[in-house]
């Protein structure tokens, strides 16, 4: 496969400017294809795309920069919080269990 030193990529950013997706040009075996409007595309080294941490990487001065604090925040396990309805159901189930146990 033919390689290029720099390829064109189009980044999708969130409201804070972090990369949440991207499209890149690709080699179809005959020529390089760009299946998107290149108006806002930037040139990056192909290997740099592998360093992107979705939601924690920004493009600054043509370089991809990972915000390590944001990355750590994204990697924290999510602990689901019960809704008010779930808490009410749990409380009622506990009361029913206690009533049944005392009978």
Mean of per-residue pLDDT scores for the chain = 92
Residue 95 lies in a domain: no
Residue 90 lies in a domain: no
Residue 81 lies in a domain: no
Q: Is 57 within 8 Å of 74 (Cβ atoms)?
A: no
Rounded Cα gap, residues 85 and 68, in angstroms: 37
pLDDT tens column, 32-72: 999 999 999 999 999 999 999 999 999 998 899 999 999 99
Rounded Cα gap, residues 14 and 1, in angstroms: 33
Angle at 80 between CA 75 and CA 83, to 5 degrees: 150
Residue 52 lies in a domain: yes
Residue 24 lies in a domain: yes
Token representation of residue 16: 């804070």
Range of the domain at 67: 1-76
Residue 70 lies in a domain: yes
The pTM of the whole model exceeds 0.75: no
Domain count, the chain: 1
Residue 28 lies in a domain: yes
Residue 26 lies in a domain: yes
């Amino acid at each position: 496969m033919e390689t290029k030193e720099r390829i064109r990529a189009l980044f999708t950013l969130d409201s804070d400017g972090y990369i949440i997706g991207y499209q890149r040009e690709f080699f179809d075996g005959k020529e390089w294809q760009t299946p998107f409007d290149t108006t806002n595309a930037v040139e990056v080294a192909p290997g740099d795309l592998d360093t992107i941490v979705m939601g924690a990487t920004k493009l600054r001065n043509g370089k991809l920069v990972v915000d390590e604090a944001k990355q750590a925040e994204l990697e924290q396990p999510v602990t689901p919080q019960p809704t008010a309805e779930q808490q009410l159901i749990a409380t009622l189930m506990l009361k029913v269990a206690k009533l049944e146990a005392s009978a």
